[in-house]
């Protein structure tokens, strides 16, 4: 929808520009057709953004009267709260606290509208009756398709119906029933593998001694490998061997793809505001790894398809039926249906391999945590399992049937309660494909609809017993085995319902029950941190426990060594650019070497130096060391705490002041190139200057006096002590002023650009400069988002240095253009030159109107325009000039100096090049 609107606006802009050039050329914004089109396009987009963000949601939206959360940010809506907390948690709070009739309205980033369905009636409409009117967001589909392929999970409409119909036989009860022995065998292999790991850590003890050994294991790693092998059997009819080989290429590939780190968060955030093709093209390590692993997975899936096809072909030659030859695994069912191309089959394999093993592994991790948290539940379950006729879990000759698992009521109750209470997928997001009515309310096309799975599971109004308490007994008793005492089918939304409900729900429950039974028979689980009641949870599509996955933890917490390496690299790059700029200035000028913008950049560079000294000092004192949850601070850590707080206060100052020096350098440039004869633009410049100065002063005052007139209060350790750098409100105010001053400075010169006649290379240069300016704003936003999430402070160090370095580089680069310019024959007299033709303009007092320089350079190129002839259409006006000139041929692009404007005031004069 958004892409279609942008394309329509772009086409309309081009059509309007062409019509103006054809029928009313005097009304063109610029002589260049494409520049006029671009100006119209971006103006319309800006107006549309302002309308969609600040006008429509508050004054015209049909949803604005719905119940909604309080304390909404004017710019961000509830976005900051949503990203700071695990997925679904804010919505769960609103669902309990806000009175509603089935819908709650809230706003996301830039006030994008969201609707959350909250009652069984509204849920039934959203996921069952009108499920095909609500589709997955296109940005989400494109992002997930890189890992999952365009399988049944991501298709919509009729295509989804066809795929579901043809894949359903692979998940029939008869087939799942036959898979119970496979579930048990793989679960037993997992237990035996853990035994070997424990024995290796216990000086080779084996047998009965192993039972007495306490050892910390990576639960998520083992369960992921077990479920990957199980889904391998279900998908292609054979195990991948991940349990036996923890370095299995396939397993390591999925660990890489599902790793949650700061790059994943950044890509996810940018995916909301930037085109997918642009994000995918970013040369960041995360993108490179994902693309590499995606190609590997596709290659593996095509090989699986070829192997299965060869097996079926060989079996047919022996007069074996298709079903017997291929089996009833997902791959065979898809091939035998005849409804899928090879590429579509590969997409289905990618979907089931990824989604089919990771969600169950996550549920198993939560189950193990629950066993440690509720030892009475663990013991009751173990008693039931030991009293059953299940074989010894370490007996490699033992086998089970489906009935042996299904006849265990407490195992059934515990699995259902874990899946309800700790739903691995906390929520789903849809977009209205057309205007749709939910719970009696019109939902406009394009509105995002949030289905809170875990919030429904915990909603008091939907359950007879307190749903906020983990209680497997709710599933015990007549008529409660499948309902748990719920008021409605839509009270338990773990697997969703309707046409888009999980096709493998029965498969996942059976697999989970087998894994859990094997674990309880094999081990007694206790929490290492016995006081841990509410573990940290990762955000994202799957709800994981932080720390349960050692791989994800190591990737998520950037080491101090990595921070230092990145920071010093950025620092060295910024200093090289500044040094090169000053060197160019000295080389090109004889009298006036360093001008005001250079001085301001040097001040910024000194602040950058102060920041990296503070960060290096912080690192040396252990301030960047990752401290696992529950680990107490050492005596040395406590001793250094005051010093670290003082360093943080100083680095805060270096960062805040260092960000305003480059802004001042740009403003100094604007004062040089915008003459007093352009009063409106000059007035705007004064306003922006005053705004930026006010922002800088306010930032320093907030940092200093927020807590008290006594600066030392910023590093006080007394109870209830205050520090500006730990205040979320100060952070938000400082960030807002920094961001808005960036935007103001960025847009200020645009009115001047409409007067310029630029050739293609100059246009590319301007686009590059503006793109780098946008990069500064993007880094600023990324730093702010990282701080808001509050879980990766080492990344904040990197973002801070990156923002300062990028700002310095952006302001310095235009002055280096001369290094790339070819030397041309020019006069050393006071003449302006255009493509080798001298264009002489002299003042009445005998002084040259033009001085040396390149107007596309910054102030450091010394564009000194004393007086320039002209009338109404000329940028710089003066009465103190006499003109002695000869005309320039039409089509002249302005020559090597690169700047020209139209002069309609004098006969015989075409374009004047500066």
Give the 3-state DSSP-derived string for 639-685, with helices as H, strands as E and coil as C.
Answer: HHHHHHHHHHHHHHHHHHHHHHHHHHHHHHHHHHHCCCCCHHHHHHH
More confident call, 341 vs 218? 341
User: Considering only CA atoms, which of 690, 699, 697, 670 is closest in space to residue 597?
Assistant: 670
Pairing of strands 448-451, 837-839: unpaired
pLDDT at 205 over 60: no
Give the angle subtended at the CA of 445 by the CAs of 439 and 450, to the nearest 5°: 55
Please tell me the distance from the alpha carbon of residue 793 to that of residue 783, in angstroms, as a whole number.
10
Q: With H, G, I as helix, E, B as strand and everything else as coil, classify residue 523.
A: coil
- Tell me the pLDDT of the chain averaged across its residues: 77
Q: Which residues are annotated as a binding site for heme?
A: 502
Place of tokens 């960047």: 624
Q: What is the pLDDT of residue 732?
A: 77
Task: Dump pLDDT digits (tens) for 387-436.
Answer: 999 999 998 888 899 999 999 999 999 999 999 999 999 999 999 999 99
Q: What pLDDT score does 143 carry?
A: 83
Instruction: Say which DSSP state 900 is in.
Output: E
Give the mean model confidence (pLDDT) for residues 537-559: 52
pLDDT value at position 291? 86
For the ranges 77-86, 163-172, 544-553, 618-627, the lowest mean pLDDT is seen at 544-553
CA–CA separation, 79 and 75 (whole Å): 9
Q: For position 8, what pLDDT does the model report?
A: 67
End-to-end CA distance of the chain: 45
Higher pLDDT, 441 or 28: 441
Instruction: Detail the residues annotated as belonging to a binding site.
Output: 502
Q: Is the pLDDT of residue 837 over 50?
A: no
Distance CA 394, CA 292 (A): 39
Taking the C-alpha atoms of residue 425 and residue 359, their distance in angstroms, rounded to an integer, is: 7
d(CA 402, CA 675): 85
Q: Which of 493-507, 680-694, 715-729 has the lowest mean pLDDT?
A: 715-729
Contact by Cβ (8 Å): 546, 369: no
Instruction: Pick from 124-128, 356-360, 778-782 the range whose average pLDDT is largest.
Output: 124-128
Question: CB within 8 A of 489, min separation 6: which ones?
Answer: 120, 497
- Name 429's bridge partners: 450
Helix 138-148 with 262-273: angle, nearest 10 deg: 140
How many residues does this entry show for the chain? Answer: 914
| pLDDT for res 458 | 93
Neighbours of 597 (CB within 10 A): 25
Most confident of 250-264, 369-383, 589-603, 885-899: 369-383
Average pLDDT for 731-759: 75
CA distances from 315 to 17, 170, 227, 320 (A): 67, 20, 29, 5
Question: Has residue 195 got a pLDDT over 90?
Answer: no
pLDDT tens string 431-471: 999 999 999 999 999 999 999 999 999 999 899 889 999 99
With a cut of 60, say whether residue 574 has pLDDT above it: yes
Residue 518 has pLDDT above 80, yes or no: yes
pLDDT computed for residue 100 by the predictor = 93
Q: How far apart are CA 467 and CA 240, in angstroms?
A: 39
pLDDT at 191: 93
Q: What is the DSSP string of 723-750?
A: -GGG-HHHHHHHHHHHHHHHHHHHHTTH
Which pLDDT value is given to residue 730?
Answer: 80
Listed in sequence order, the residues at least 6 apart from 833 whose beta carbon sits closer than 8 Å to its beta carbon are 824, 826, 827, 839, 895, 896, 897, 913
Question: What domains are there in the chain, each with its CATH number?
Answer: 145-554 (1.10.630.10), 558-819 (1.20.1070), 822-914 (no CATH)
Token pair, residue 551, equals 């791989």
Long-range contacts made by residues 532-536, C-beta under 8 angstroms, separation at least 24? Answer: 532/629, 532/630, 533/373, 535/369, 535/629, 536/629, 536/791
* DSSP assignments along 138-201, one per residue: HHHHHHHHHHH-SSTTT--HHHHHHHHHHHGGGG-HHHHHHHHHHHHHHHHHHHHHHHHHHHHH
pLDDT (tens digit, 9 = 90+) per residue, 333-352? 888 888 899 999 999 999 99
- The half-sphere exposure of 896 on its side-chain side, counting CA atoms within 13 A, is 18
pLDDT for residue 501 is more than 90: yes
For residue 116, what pLDDT is reported? Answer: 96
Q: For residue 791, give the H/E element and its range.
A: none
- pLDDT single digits (tens) 621-680: 877 765 544 444 455 555 677 788 888 888 888 888 888 988 888 888 888 777 777 787
Residue 585: predicted pLDDT: 72
CA separation for the pair 898, 589 (Å, rounded): 20
In sequence order, what DSSP letters do the residues of 260-283 get, joined into one string?
Answer: --HHHHHHHHHHHHS-HHHHHH--
The whole-number pLDDT of residue 493 equals: 94
Q: What is the pLDDT of residue 404?
A: 94
What pLDDT, on the 0 to 100 scale, is given for residue 656? 85
pLDDT of residue 637: 55
430 beta partners: 449
* Predicted pLDDT at 422: 93
pLDDT tens profile 48-66: 888 888 899 999 999 999 9
Confidence of residue 126 (pLDDT cuts 50, 70, 90): very high
Percentage of residues of the chain with pLDDT beyond 90: 29
Checking if the pLDDT of 738 tops 50, the result is yes
């Amino acid at each position: 929808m958004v892409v279609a609107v942008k394309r329509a606006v772009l086409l309309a802009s081009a059509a309007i520009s062409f019509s103006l050039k054809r029928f009313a050329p005097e009304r063109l914004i610029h002589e260049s057709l494409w520049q006029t089109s671009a100006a119209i396009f971006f103006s319309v987009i800006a107006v549309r953004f302002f309308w969609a963000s600040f006008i429509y949601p508050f004054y015209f939206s049909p949803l604005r009267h719905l119940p909604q959360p309080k304390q909404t940010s004017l710019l961000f809506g509830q976005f900051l709260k949503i990203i700071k907390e695990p997925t679904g948690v804010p919505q769960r709070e609103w669902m309990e606290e806000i009175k509603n009739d089935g819908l709650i309205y809230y706003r996301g980033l830039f006030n994008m509208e969201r609707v959350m369905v909250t009652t069984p009636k509204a849920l039934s409409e959203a996921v069952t009756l009108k499920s095909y009117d609500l589709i997955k967001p296109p940005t989400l589909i494109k992002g997930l398709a890189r890992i999952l392929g365009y399988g049944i999970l991501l298709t919509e409409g009729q295509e989804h119906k066809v795929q579901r119909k043809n894949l359903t036989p692979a998940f029939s009860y008869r087939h799942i029933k036959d898979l119970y022995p496979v579930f048990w065998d793989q679960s037993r292999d997992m237990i035996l593998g853990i035994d070997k790991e424990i024995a290796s850590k216990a000086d080779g003890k084996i047998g009965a001694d192993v039972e007495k050994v306490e050892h910390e294991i990576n639960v998520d790693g083992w369960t992921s490998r077990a479920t990957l092998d199980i889904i391998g059997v279900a998908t292609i009819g054979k195990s991948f061997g991940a349990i036996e080989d923890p370095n299995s290429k396939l397993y390591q590939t999925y660990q890489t793809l599902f790793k949650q780190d700061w790059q994943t968060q950044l890509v996810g955030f940018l995916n909301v505001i930037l085109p997918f093709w642009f994000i995918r093209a970013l040369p960041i390590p995360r993108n490179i790894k994902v693309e590499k692993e995606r190609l590997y997975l596709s290659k593996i899936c095509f090989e699986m398809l070829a192997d299965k096809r060869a097996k079926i072909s060989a079996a047919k030659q022996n007069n074996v039926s298709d079903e017997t030859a291929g089996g009833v695994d997902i791959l065979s069912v898809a091939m035998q249906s005849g409804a899928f191309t090879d590429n579509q089959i590969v997409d289905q394999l990618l979907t089931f391999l990824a989604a089919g093993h990771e969600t169950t592994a996550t549920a198993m991790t939560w189950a193990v945590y629950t066993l440690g948290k509720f030892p009475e539940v663990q013991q009751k379950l173990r008693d039931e399992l030991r009293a059953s006729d299940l074989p010894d879990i370490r007996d490699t000759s033992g086998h089970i049937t489906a009935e042996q698992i299904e006849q265990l009521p407490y195992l059934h109750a515990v699995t259902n309660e874990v899946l309800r209470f700790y739903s691995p997928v906390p929520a789903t997001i849809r977009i209205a494909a057309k205007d749709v009515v939910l719970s009696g309310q019109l939902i406009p096309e394009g509105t995002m609809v949030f289905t809170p799975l875990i919030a429904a599971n915990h909603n008091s109004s939907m359950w007879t017993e307190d749903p906020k308490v983990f209680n497997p007994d709710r599933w015990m008793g007549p008529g409660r085995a499948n309902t748990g005492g719920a008021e409605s089918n839509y009270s338990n939304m773990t697997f969703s319902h309707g046409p888009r409900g999980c096709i493998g729900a029965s498969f996942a429950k059976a697999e989970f029950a087998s894994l859990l039974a094997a674990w309880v028979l094999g081990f007694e689980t206790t929490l290492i941190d016995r006081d841990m009641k509410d573990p940290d949870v990762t955000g994202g599509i799957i709800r994981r426990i932080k720390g349960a996955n050692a791989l994800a933890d190591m990737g998520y917490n950037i080491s101090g060594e990595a921070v230092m390496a990145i920071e010093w690299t950025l620092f060295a790059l910024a200093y090289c650019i500044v040094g090169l700029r000053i060197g160019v200035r000295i080389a090109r000028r004889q009298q006036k070497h360093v001008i005001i913008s250079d001085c301001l950049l040097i001040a910024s560079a000194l602040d950058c130096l102060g920041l990296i000294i503070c960060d290096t000092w912080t690192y040396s004192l252990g301030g960047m060391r990752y401290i696992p949850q529950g680990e107490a601070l050492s005596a040395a850590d406590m001793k250094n705490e005051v010093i670290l707080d003082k360093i943080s206060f100083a680095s805060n100052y270096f960062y805040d002041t260092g960000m305003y020096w480059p802004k001042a350098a740009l403003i100094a440039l604007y004062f040089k190139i915008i003459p007093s004869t352009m009063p409106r633009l000059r007035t705007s410049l004064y306003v922006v200057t005053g705004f930026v100065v006010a922002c800088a002063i306010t930032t320093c005052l907030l940092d200093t006096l927020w807590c008290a007139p006594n600066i030392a209060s910023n590093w006080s350790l007394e109870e209830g002590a205050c520090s500006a750098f730990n205040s979320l409100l100060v952070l938000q105010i400082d960030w807002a002023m920094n961001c808005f001053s960036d935007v103001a400075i960025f847009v200020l010169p645009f009115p001047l650009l409409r007067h310029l006649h630029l050739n293609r290379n100059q246009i590319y240069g301007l686009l590059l400069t503006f793109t780098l300016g946008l990069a500064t704003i993007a880094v600023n936003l990324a730093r702010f988002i990282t701080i808001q999430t509050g879980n990766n402070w080492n990344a904040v160090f990197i973002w801070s240095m990156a923002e300062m370095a990028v700002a310095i580089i952006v302001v310095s680069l235009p002055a280096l253009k001369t290094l790339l310019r070819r030397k041309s024959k020019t006069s050393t007299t006071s003449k302006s030159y255009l493509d080798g033709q001298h264009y002489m303009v002299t003042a009445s007092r005998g002084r040259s109107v033009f001085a040396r320089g390149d107007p596309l350079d910054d102030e450091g190129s010394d564009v000194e325009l004393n007086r320039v002839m002209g009338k109404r259409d000329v940028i710089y006006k003066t009465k103190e000039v006499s003109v002695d000139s000869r005309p320039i041929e039409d089509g002249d692009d302005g020559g090597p100096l690169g700047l020209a404007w139209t002069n309609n005031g004098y006969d015989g004069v075409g374009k004047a090049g500066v």
